[in-house]
Every structure is written in structure tokens, then in C-alpha cells.
């Protein structure tokens, strides 16, 4: 039998056919008002969530997502979903992970591939529609609740319980996950378990996975520049790095390490007081190295 004959007679119904979806974790950095009226707004890492208008999990917040159509590529599906909710095309996205637990969706067996994106929120116009009745940016706060590290014959095992607090102007969502990182023969294996979640489906797992990936990529890629306007000050760029890495950076060290990544312009920041800062732009010819 030739391959052509085999394919002509192939019975595609001999195997179970799950549904396939894509979900996106879209990050931005925005000014958030503080409780102290004397303080200026602080910049915080935020994620885009949509409130579900249909069952299952009707009324719950979730990551934006959609079912993949029969003749559609994954990348086309996730861009279509975000275009419908943000009116923005060609958002920077990268594929993260596939989620296939048999009971992750109460409707049927649904396998989802998650994507991560970074955007300048000023370029996005959030709108609702379809299976979402609302959409909003939520500030992300992480807190380590419990941590334990042990050695084994393969290497080590680290268990950590993490609280993920998500806040918008009107709502607060609490999530708690357990992350297990195990080193086996030089390879790190990560398991995630949801202990409590106000998010729909297993989206708390997707979110913590994306946050960890984001922190790692900031170290050696130009991913942070997706959050910047075309021209920016070095101070504001450092703020973005500090928020993404969740730690303060020494000014001199930071500027030395990003020196090749930026190009100085002849322009200055407008409306910045008596000592305006020089504006810079991203160096498109930059070659990656460890940050």
C-alpha cells in the first residue's frame, strides 16, 4: 500500500478527538493609584483578564482565549482572540506551554496552548464581546507563603506555596498555587497545583508559569522593550526592569549592562521640570548576552 492509498483509507475516528483552545497572558506596566493621596501613582505589572458571560464559570474572570477553528493555526487563533478584545493587531506573543489535564474543562476534554505577550497599554483599547462581558487590567502581587527545599539522589526538590493577588479598581481575586521544582539528572521539572483560585479553569497555573518565564527572559532577551514607547528615558527603562525582575537594580550597573541595547538621541523628555532627561531608543542591531 502506498502512502497515498493509506491516507485515502485512513479512519480518523479511530482515535478520540479533543477540543483545542488557545489562551493568552497579556502583560503591561501601568500607573496604579496609591492609598496615600500625597504619593504619585506607582508603576505595577498588570495582566489582562476578561469576565466570562457564558457557562462554565459564568461571571468568573479568566485569561482571554478561544477555540481553534478547523483550518486555523494556533497563532492565528490567539491573534484573532486578542484583536476582538483589544482592537490591536500583531501583538508580541510567544508560545509558552500546553495544558492537557483530562478534567481541566468541565465541558469536555480540552487541550489548551498558552501564549505570553507584552504590550504598551496606551496602544490598547479594551472592549468586550462574545463570551466575555467585561475586560480589565489587574495588578499582580506575589507572596511566598511557605517554602521547603530537600535533596534527593537526582539533585534537589523545592516546594513553594505562592499567593497570587489580582486587583482592579473594583475587584480583588485571590489565588494560591503550589509550585514544585525538581532537578532530575540536570533537568529541571516543574509541577504546579492549584490550592485555591478565583480564576476560571486552570488559569492560575498558566499565570504563575508565565510570570516565571517572563522573569527568566528579561535576563537575556530584549523582551522588556515591548513595554516601552519608541523613545524613553533610561530611568523609566530601569523602572520596567525592576518591576519585571521584582528587585531593585543599581543605577550604574544597570546602565553599564544595557549600554549596547540603546541608542542615545538628540531629544529630551518634555514637561519634566528643570532638568529634563535625554531620550533613548532601542538598538535593533543589539546582540543578546546575559543581563
More confident residue, 272 or 126: 126
Q: Compute the distance between CA of residue 42 and CA of residue 274 in angstroms, rounded to an integer.
A: 22
The 3-class secondary structure across 135-173, one letter per residue, is: EEEEEEEEEEEEEEEEECCCCEEEEEEEEEEEECCCCEE
Q: What is the number of structural domains in the chain?
A: 2
Output Rg (C-alpha) for the chain, integer angstroms: 22
Q: Are residues 131 and 272 in the same domain?
A: no
Task: Taking residues 67-72, report their average pLDDT.
Answer: 95
Task: List the one residue out of 153, 77, 147, 155 whose CA is nearest residue 112.
Answer: 77
- Name the nearest CA neighbour of 283 among 212, 228, 208: 228
Phi then psi for residue 142, to 5 deg, are: -110, 140
Considering the chain, what is the average pLDDT of its residues?
Answer: 89
Please check whether residues 207 and 73 belong to one and the same domain: yes
The reply to whether 126 and 237 lie within a common domain is no
Is 186 within a domain?
Answer: no
Position with higher pLDDT, 253 vs 182: 253
Cis (ω within 30 of 0) for the bond into 243?
Answer: no
Tell me, what's the pLDDT at 145?
95
Whether residue 163 lies inside any domain: the answer is no
Q: Which of 162, 183, 218 is a domain's end point?
A: 218
Give pLDDT tens digits for 175-229.
999 999 888 777 888 889 999 999 999 999 999 999 999 998 898 888 899 888 8
Considering the domain architecture, whether residues 236 and 276 belong to the same structural domain is answered as yes
- Tell me the pLDDT tens digit for each residue of 33-51: 766 555 667 889 999 999 9
Q: Verify that 126 and 246 share a domain, yes or no.
A: no
Residues 205 and 277 grouped into a single domain: no
CATH code of residue 134? 3.90.79.10
Per-residue model confidence (pLDDT) at position 184? 79
The pLDDT score that the predictor gives to residue 289 is 58
The pLDDT, as a whole number, for residue 276 is 84
Residue 143 has pLDDT above 80, yes or no: yes
Whether 74 and 209 map to the same domain: the answer is yes
> What CATH number corresponds to the domain at position 241?
1.10.10.10
239 and 205 share one domain: no
Does 232 lie in the same domain as 210? no
Single out the residue of 172, 171, 170, 164 nearest to residue 196, CA to CA: 164
Structural domain harbouring 126: 19-139+201-218
Is residue 277 within 8 A of residue 235, CB to CB? The reply is yes
Alpha-carbon distance 281 to 258, whole Å?
Answer: 12
pLDDT of residue 187: 83
Amino acid at each position: 500500500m502506498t502512502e497515498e492509498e493509506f491516507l485515502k483509507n485512513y479512519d480518523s475516528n479511530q482515535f478520540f478527538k479533543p477540543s483545542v483552545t488557545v489562551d493568552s497572558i497579556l502583560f503591561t506596566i501601568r500607573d496604579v493609584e496609591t492609598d496615600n493621596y500625597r504619593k504619585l501613582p506607582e508603576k505595577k505589572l498588570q495582566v489582562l483578564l476578561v469576565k466570562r458571560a457564558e457557562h462554565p464559570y459564568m461571571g468568573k474572570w479568566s485569561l482571554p482565549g478561544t477555540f481553534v477553528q478547523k483550518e486555523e493555526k494556533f497563532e492565528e487563533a490567539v491573534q484573532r482572540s486578542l484583536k476582538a478584545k483589544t482592537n490591536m493587531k500583531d501583538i508580541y506573543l510567544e508560545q509558552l506551554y500546553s495544558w492537557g489535564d483530562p478534567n481541566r474543562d468541565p465541558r469536555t476534554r480540552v487541550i489548551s496552548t498558552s501564549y505570553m505577550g507584552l504590550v504598551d497599554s496606551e496602544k490598547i483599547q479594551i472592549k468586550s464581546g462574545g463570551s466575555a462581558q467585561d475586560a480589565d487590567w489587574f495588578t499582580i502581587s506575589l507572596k511566598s507563603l511557605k517554602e521547603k527545599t530537600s535533596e534527593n539522589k537526582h539533585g534537589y526538590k523545592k516546594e513553594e506555596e505562592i499567593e497570587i493577588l489580582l486587583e482592579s479598581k473594583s475587584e480583588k481575586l485571590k489565588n494560591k498555587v503550589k509550585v514544585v521544582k525538581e532537578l532530575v539528572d540536570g533537568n529541571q521539572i516543574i509541577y504546579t497545583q492549584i490550592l485555591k483560585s478565583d480564576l476560571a479553569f486552570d488559569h492560575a497555573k498558566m499565570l504563575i508559569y508565565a510570570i516565571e518565564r517572563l522573569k527568566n527572559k528579561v535576563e537575556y532577551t530584549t523582551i522588556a522593550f515591548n513595554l516601552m514607547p519608541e523613545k524613553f528615558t533610561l530611568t523609566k527603562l530601569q523602572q520596567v526592569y525592576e518591576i519585571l525582575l521584582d528587585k531593585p537594580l543599581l543605577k550604574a550597573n544597570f546602565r553599564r549592562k544595557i549600554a549596547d541595547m540603546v541608542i542615545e538621541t538628540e531629544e529630551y523628555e518634555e514637561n519634566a521640570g528643570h532638568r529634563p532627561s535625554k531620550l533613548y531608543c532601542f538598538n535593533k542591531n543589539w546582540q543578546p548576552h546575559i543581563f
